[in-house]
Amino acid sequence: MAFNPVLANIGTTIFTTMTQLSLDHQALNLGQGFPEEGWPTEMLDRAAKALMHGDNQYPAMRGVAELRQAVAAHDRRFYGLDYDWQSDVVVTCGATEGLAAAILGLLSPGDEVVLFEPLYDSYLPMIRLVGAIPRLVRLHPPDWGIDFDALRAAFNPRTRMILFNTPMNPTGKVFSRAELSRIGELCQEFNVIALCDEVYEHLVFAGSEHIPLASLPGMRDLAVRVGSAGKSFSLTGWKIGYLSGAAEMMGQIARAHQFLTFTIPPHLQSAVAWGLQQPPEWFAAMTANLAAKRERFVGGLARRGIAVLPFQGGYFATIDLQQFGIKETDENFIYRMTTEKRLNAIPFSAFYAPPAMVEPGAFVPPPNHLVRFCFAKKDFSLDQGVEKLAGFLGR
Ligand code: GLN
């Protein structure tokens, strides 16, 4: 039977595939990005109490008032952004639905969208499902700097949106103020919306700073911010996302959201509201915990002579197989590492557009020598991961 070709031409996401491979071989899963510990127990208590004693019926379509107020206050406290909680915030089922609602609500068939590669795997299928056209600008290791001539060349009068992710998965790149300023200038010159996937906003290491594009001059009315309780509070199973932006765009996003999920579980929303109200020191303590894990994993690898690519945010570290003269693909390497050594990771090549997603003739084969590891894990898992990887590489 003929089905929607956009979805018929793609497989199951790499994260599901790799976690299944990991389970099949009882491997240590440093692939799919989910924390093994570190979530605030106060939030679990609050959600449980709200479930037992609070309202269990449909909450407000755009999100419970408490959470929308908390999102607006959070954005003001951390970034000086001025959003009205009633008109400028929408709560979604994870950032995944938030991104989908924004793409569905803000784009029309034929609109062009500029994106950086590597990219998160949900972007292109959603862009294709609305009939919009991706224009890809590739970033290169080790520093993932932006070629601004290539970026400018990707913009034209049909460009409607730029969709990008900072701190960036899988590279861990945190976009600098200078880079964001130049992106903002292009948005203003071409009157282009910026959909800013900022789910790792609180996972930034010392020496770097997360800056929302929306906070730069002239960008408040062109940028939509996407946040996630999955990342900010290590509660990926809760699937709570929150979007903020100018009222006109958020109205469109709410119109899409009302037909995707309509509402989100109220107990989880009120617990996330509590989390977002906490002071900067509370967030900083969680980031410090993550920084210690980063040090444990990256430092452990370094002691075995295994270098990772430089990164400033997120909870992923990447190794380059070429440093060991390894010629096999990232996918093969991970398959062997999972089956032979019981250690799983994510192939970087999965973060590049497959041929079916690009315009005819625009496909460029992805790098296939990079392997991503998630270090938001227990110390025991990190130590085991170092041992297993070093053993597998003969270090
Ligand atoms: N964002 C997570 C990652 O990059 C996984 C999300 C998912 O499993 N869909 O690993």
pLDDT digit string (tens) for 96-131? 999 999 999 999 999 999 999 999 999 999 999 999
Residue 44 DSSP SS3: helix
- Does the structural domain 5-39+281-393 have CATH classification 3.40.250.10? no
Distance (angstroms) between ligand 1 centre and the Cα of 123 equals 13
Split at pLDDT 50, 70, 90, the class of 1 is confident
Q: Report which of 116, 87, 80 is spatially closest to residue 253, judged by C-alpha positions.
A: 87
**Is 33 close to ligand 1, i.e. is its CB under 6 Å away?**
yes
Q: Residue 293: which residues within 8 A CB-CB, separation 6 or more? A: 315, 375, 376, 377, 379, 382
Closest C-alpha to ligand 1, atom 1? 33
CATH topology of domain 41-280: Aspartate Aminotransferase; domain 2 (3.40.640)
Read off the amino acid at residue 116: F
Read off the amino acid at residue 62: R
Distance (angstroms) between ligand 1 centre and the Cα of 306 equals 24
Determine the distance from the C-alpha atom of residue 354 to the mean position of all C-alpha atoms in its chain, rounded to a whole number: 19
Domain boundaries, the chain: 5-39+281-393, 41-280
Determine the distance from the C-alpha atom of residue 371 to the mean position of all C-alpha atoms in its chain, rounded to a whole number: 17
The angle subtended at Cα 18 by Cα 13 and Cα 23, nearest 5°, is: 130
Closest C-alpha to ligand 1, atom 2? 33
pTM of the model: 0.98
Question: Is cis: bond before 167, omega within 30 of 0?
Answer: yes
**Is 13 close to ligand 1, i.e. is its CB under 6 Å away?**
yes
pLDDT for position 206: 95
Q: What percent of the chain has pLDDT over 90?
A: 99
**Average pLDDT of the segment spanning 225-239:** 98
Q: Residue 191: which residues within 8 A CB-CB, separation 6 or more? A: 222
Pairing of strands 28-29, 343-344: parallel
pLDDT for position 9: 83
Read off the amino acid at residue 368: N
- DSSP element (H, E) containing 296: helix 280-303
Backbone angles phi, psi at 196, to 5 degrees: -105, 105
